[in-house]
Each structure stands twice: as C-alpha cells, then as structure tokens.
Amino acid sequence: MTQAAPQQATQVKLLVNTASEAVEVIRQRYGENARVLSVKQVEAQGLKRLVSKPRLEVIVEVFPIEERPEAVSPKVEESENAHKLDTEEKVQEDDRLAPCRPVSDLYAKASAAKASSSPDGDYFSQFGESEAQQPAVADPEPPDSEEESVPPLGSAANPVRRGTYDAVKRAISMLESVGFDRSLVERARGEIDFKDIGSLPTMGLYAKICDWLRTRFPDTKTETLGSRRAFVGCSGVGKTAALCKMLSADVFQRGLAPSVLKVDSELPNPSDALEVFCDIMGAKLARSTEELGEVTEAAPLLVDMPGFSLGDPATLKSCRETLDELGVEERILVINAAYEAELIAEMMAAGETVGARWVVFTHVEETRKAGKLWKFLLNGRIKPLFFSEGPNPAGEYTMETCSYLLERSFPGGRDLAAAQARQSGREASA
C-alpha cells in the first residue's frame, strides 16, 4: 500500500493596513500553525499614492492541518499557494527581517508592547498606528553592558539640568557686566556656588558677591605709613595731584608738618603748581636732600618722583635706584583708573619692579566699569591706599577703599556698601 506524500507548507501573502490587523487575521485564519516570514511596507500605485497610506505586506508560512477556520476578512487580499507566485512576487531570503517565530509568540509580544507603549523588538511593535509611514527595520540588538553605565555629565544622554545652567550663566553674565574679567569670575566660581546664587534676585546676587569681595579684600586699616613716602608712576597719571591730597590730609586731619621733595631726572619735572600748593599748606618744598630738615613721624617726607616709561626698562631701574638712595620705604604707585585693564596690569607690574607696596587710583569718576579694579586689589601684593576723583588737590579722595569700590562697581552699590559697613561694624564690636 502506497503511503501518501507529506503535504508541503503553504506561503500566504497578506496586505493589511496595520500590524494589529495582521496579527488578528493570522490568529483567526491559521491559529497557531503559522509563522511570519517577512514584513515590508508597500506603497500604493499611481495617483493613489497621494491619497492612500502605505500598507503592510506580510508573508506567512502555513503548515498543513486537517481542519482550520474559514473566516475571511474583507480587508485581506490573499493568494493561496504563494510558493507558486511569479519570480518577482516570491519572497527572497534578504527580505526576511528576523528568524521565524510562532504566531502565538508574536501576538503575545505585540500585546505586551502595546500595553507598555514601548517597542520590544518583535515584528509588529515598530508599526504603530502613528508610525505607518516609517519603513520596517530589523529587531534592535540588546545594548551592551558598557552602554548601560551612566553617560558622562554634559553629554547628550546626560545633559546638565536647564535650571542649573541658566543660574550659572546668569551669575557670570551679571559679573561680567560690572567689569569682572574671566580670571576673577573663575576665582569667584571656585569659592562660591554659582548654582545657588544664580537663582537669587539681582540685589541678592550682588550682595552675595559683595560679601565675598569684602572677605578677600586686603585689610589696610591696621597698617601705618612710614615717614618717607614717594609717589611713582607713568607721566600724566596724576602723581602730583595724589601727593597734594595726602599732604592736605596730613596737615588738616592728622595735624602733621610734612615737607615735600621734588626730584628731577633727564626729563623736566615742573613744580609751579606744587610750589603754590605747598605755600598754601605751609609745607616746605625742597629740590635737593641738602635742603631737607629732619624727617620724623610728625614731620614726614613726601617725594614727587618723575614719571617712568613702561617701554624703557632703564627708567624703571633709575627710579628704583633713586628711591633706594633716598631711603624711601613707602613707595606708592599711582595709576589712572580710566586706563584699559591691560595697561593697568602693565603698570602694576612696573610698580612691583620699583618696589611699590601701595597703589592710588586716580580719575575713578571717568571709568565706566570700576569692577575691573577688583582683580588688581585682591592679589595682596600691592594694597590700595586711597581712591581719587577730580583735579582738586585738597579733596575728593577716600581712604575707605573697599566700600567706595563696592559703591562704584555695582548697581545700587551705595546700599550694598552701607550694608557691608554695618556688617563690618557688628563684627568689630563682637
């Protein structure tokens, strides 16, 4: 008796609108005895492409069974015995998206993916209702263990929080607007948490910065000047005017009897205005050391030095040698505050070369951003003596350097300086 040849599996092509429809049709028509071979997107032909959405072509392999449901879906176009299709309609091996799986597994995974709203790599999870226009892709490979680690801070996968970045950027922008350069901003960032102060109101942020500046500002109130004081600097910065203001302070405020020495060099150092002012103050003006009397704390000597040149190191050397010969221990550098920060930095370096320990800033009223001066005063090498405004030799200067610079640097600086003064008073009383 001849045994019947085993029946071959049948390939069926289904054209459906959505992945969920394909799962439902396969489940109803073929049950558990089918597996999906491939899924691809099919565009409509002709003008239908303008009004019709792409459909899904699903190739299903059905194994022979004795009985199967005859339910037919009107939306499905099928072609039995798809293995006998023409050459251009046969399913090629490179069109298969993944290894074949039972329909039951596919349906279970598609349901789970739909419930969790996250794709899990099966055939249909990538074809949601809103993603029908996207082409089919293969199952994603599971991530490596290295990718599961936390990405570096600041990368696209782990960006800095928006609020934190905005707060830091705001604080930096506000400091730069008052004249802080990048080096001073970075120093402040290293000692203050910008994330916290950046979210404060404007005056609260400035108050926090002012408190930090006050704690870093050099303390000059406990120091006393020596009896021999020389004013040095470039020509035209206001050395003689600064000397006259100290002379008036010594006479009217401290009750001293100072004398003035006018030093000449290769360049002329006129003394007409200084001579008149010394006559008014009752101070003696000398042109040589032989004309000087005894120098004591009650009768200090103020020396008006000729200007040196930043481009000529010989003038710096000559200035230092002259100061050494006169035995001047207090060398006061005078700088025009309206100059650019780069030029001020060069003058500060020249002042250190000649041994300056103090600095006087003149023409402060002419500078637009007085905040640029902070970095020169926080270095601790050359300390501020006083700030000067205007050409009046008998006034318009202040020895309260920290409070004055706070007032000149920040919007609402007068209130900030007053608050700092009250805080300093409380600390002193404590």
Q: DSSP character for 32?
A: T
In tens digits, the chain (430 residues) has pLDDT values of 445 555 567 788 888 888 778 888 888 888 777 788 777 887 777 666 666 777 888 888 887 765 444 444 444 444 444 343 343 343 333 343 333 444 433 333 334 444 444 444 444 444 444 333 444 444 444 544 444 566 654 455 655 555 577 788 888 888 898 899 888 988 888 888 777 787 788 888 888 888 899 889 988 777 888 999 999 999 889 999 999 999 999 998 889 999 999 998 766 666 667 888 898 889 999 988 888 889 999 999 999 999 999 989 999 999 999 999 999 999 999 999 999 999 999 999 999 999 999 999 999 989 888 999 999 999 878 999 999 987 777 668 888 898 899 888 888 777 766 665 566 555 555 5
Closest CA to 305 of 368, 351, 373: 351
Rg (CA), the chain: 44
**377, 386 in Cβ contact below 8 A?**
no
d(CA 261, CA 283): 10
Closest CA to 62 of 36, 88, 94: 36
Q: Angle CA(405)–CA(383)–CA(413) in degrees, nearest 5?
A: 10
Note the residue count of the chain: 430
pLDDT of residue 162: 52
pLDDT of residue 12: 82
Q: Read off the tokens for 159.
A: 């960006």
358-381 CB burial, b ≥16 within 10 A, e <16: bbbbbbbeebeebbbbbbbbeeee
pLDDT of residue 82: 39
pLDDT of residue 316: 93
Left (φ > 0), alpha (ψ -120 to 50) or beta: where does 238 sit? left
**63, 9 in Cβ contact below 8 A?**
yes
Distances (CA, A) of 232 to 171, 172, 269, 292: 38, 35, 13, 20
Q: How many CB atoms lie within 10 A of CB 300?
A: 21
Q: How many CB atoms lie within 10 A of CB 395?
A: 13
Sign of CA dihedral 296, 298, 299, 303: positive
β-pairing verdict for 330-336 and 358-362: parallel
Q: Read off the tokens for 66.
A: 């004795």
Q: Which of helix, strand or coil describes residue 195?
A: helix
Q: What is the pTM of this model?
A: 0.59
d(CA 78, CA 97): 21
Cα 46 → chain centroid: 57
Closest CA to 217 of 426, 417, 353, 430: 417
